[in-house]
Structure 1
């Protein structure tokens, strides 16, 4: 299916689906600062070929979804949680398996707590707990912290400068224990920049208010949950994944040896079967 723009509750969101609508639905929630392109098409098609109806979408201020003036986002983090429900509504799906990565994993946790009847299962990738408190967890690595604090900022008026900066950021996120596929990263970043209504608006994600805080613990999540985490993640070191799996009742943990933050193509043969197995025994609702 080709991508399309849907409007629910006055919010315009760009969505794309893969596979047969009769199959169990699987909603992919990307991290902040990235469009749905980072759920790569090949990855989505592998899941669809495994018998899932796969949906990816652009967050607000990314890709072809609604875009706000830079520095003036007209929404909160809680609104992004609500967008997951809007995407399901646009597809007339009552409940879905939800896969979230990075900050998208935090959104997925919030969605499961705020809308438990709409979540069949959770897969949480390269993420941490969605609320403050809990056990002390390690800070990002020194290399990651140095990059974020560096003065080598992108010139956001120049697309090439933005691409170079974002590729350098992707290199740091990769963790440094495996060869970095710069060609693939540059292609994804370039696609993000060229496809967006206004790529500078993506910086609105850095200034979002959280919205109404959650008042229930993660231990309230009752749906089957799988945590997938790289052992070389520089943003959320592996202990974050371990703690998340320990806090959510009966959650499983899949460690990706030497993997950084995100899903590398080399890990698709491991990650895709794990997601398919995790979502195989729960009935869909649509």
Structure 2
């Protein structure tokens, strides 16, 4: 079934449940919309649980006639934590300088996503990834090409170090302590989030604070964020392999992104034949509520190209 007219009032929302993967990991996931509709797999970024894809966004996308799936990556939310892999700040600095290794890579995270589709009985899906999730989505399109109907890569990059770089001031923020208690974590999350947020599309402090508390309560752990960071910092350059991607691709990036410079989005679009690039003036490294409609329209248009 193709997407029809918006029908938010009838969108079904499932309870959260777990997929036990062959790797031994458990991934928490949730769906929106009707299972007979075209599936859209949402892949979140570094350290973010699936709730960073807000329910309002998921409902809006499902209302366009999609079966929307969001999930907690390993080491986030309610999914399996790999605490036995210890990571130090020195490990992160070494990886930043190109001399480090990681307990797991983006290919492992892409394998998790493919295994989740297997669990759900879904042969292929429209795949949407943001930030590290965009890197995972790109990797999925390269290594599991038959599982991807279309690709939407948001504020992400190809893995080439000369593009999509982190602003040095933001790197300091990324390495700063995240707080030892729930209130400290929430307070620092709001403050640090402003360093990368969209200047043209501000998020109210109370909304950011509520999201931070929810993130903490879902099972946030600092070591999980560090392991994600190592996966990103040690990723390979996918530029050449992205040339083999043939599915319709949409690349979205903000002009004010300090965490992943917009050159990363431009490089991604240039690497994939026929990819469309949407640069949004005043957008930083977040998903502002003011832009939900823009994102949904772009995802739906890309899915339509796949037909």
TM-score when scaled to structure 1? 0.88
Residue 183 (structure 2) aligns with? 160
CA contact (8 A) 1:34 1:192 kept: yes
Residue 193 (structure 2) aligns with? 170
Residue 144 (structure 2) aligns with? 115
Any stretches of 5+ residues in structure 1 without a counterpart?
Answer: none
- The Cα offsets for residues 78-97 of structure 1, whole Å up to 9 and x where unpaired, read as 21110110110111000111
3-state SS, counterpart of residue 140 of structure 2: helix
TM-score when scaled to structure 2? 0.82
Describe how 1:66-105 pairs up with structure 2 within 5 A: 66-69=80-83, 71-72=85-86, 75-105=104-134
CA contact (8 A) 2:160 2:237 kept: no
3-state SS, counterpart of residue 2 of structure 1: coil
In the alignment, the residues of structure 2 paired with residue 215 and residue 247 of structure 1 have an alpha-carbon distance, to the nearest angstrom, of: 6
Compare relative contact order (CA 8 Å, sep 6+) and give the higher one, 1 or 2: 1
1:21 to 27, 30, 35: 35
3-state SS, counterpart of residue 300 of structure 2: helix
CA contact (8 A) 1:13 1:57 kept: yes
CA contact (8 A) 1:230 1:258 kept: yes
1:31 to 38, 45, 56: 45
CA contact (8 A) 1:125 1:262 kept: no
Q: Deviation at 1:109?
A: 0.7
Matched residue pairs, number? 276
3-state SS, counterpart of residue 280 of structure 1: helix
Residue 279 (structure 1) aligns with? 303
Q: CA RMSD in A?
A: 2.3
Describe how 1:225-240 pairs up with structure 2 within 5 A: 225-240=249-264
- The Cα offsets for residues 10-66 of structure 1, whole Å up to 9 and x where unpaired, read as 221001010011111100000021110101100000010000000000011111111
Residue 221 (structure 2) aligns with? 199
Any stretches of 5+ residues in structure 2 without a counterpart?
Answer: 1-13, 88-102
Of the structure 1 ranges 67-76 and 92-101, higher mean CA displacement relative to structure 2 is found in 67-76
Q: Deviation at 1:117?
A: 0.7
In the alignment, the residues of structure 2 paired with residue 217 and residue 6 of structure 1 have an alpha-carbon distance, to the nearest angstrom, of: 29
Of the structure 1 ranges 202-211 and 217-226, higher mean CA displacement relative to structure 2 is found in 202-211
2:209 to 168, 176, 186: 186
| Structure 2 residue 32 is matched with structure 1 residue 3 | no
Residue 224 (structure 1) aligns with? 248
- The Cα offsets for residues 134-169 of structure 1, whole Å up to 9 and x where unpaired, read as xx43643354245346xx5233x3122222222222
In the alignment, the residues of structure 2 paired with residue 72 and residue 138 of structure 1 have an alpha-carbon distance, to the nearest angstrom, of: 27
- The Cα offsets for residues 90-129 of structure 1, whole Å up to 9 and x where unpaired, read as 1100011100000110111111110111111100001011
In the alignment, the residues of structure 2 paired with residue 79 and residue 253 of structure 1 have an alpha-carbon distance, to the nearest angstrom, of: 27
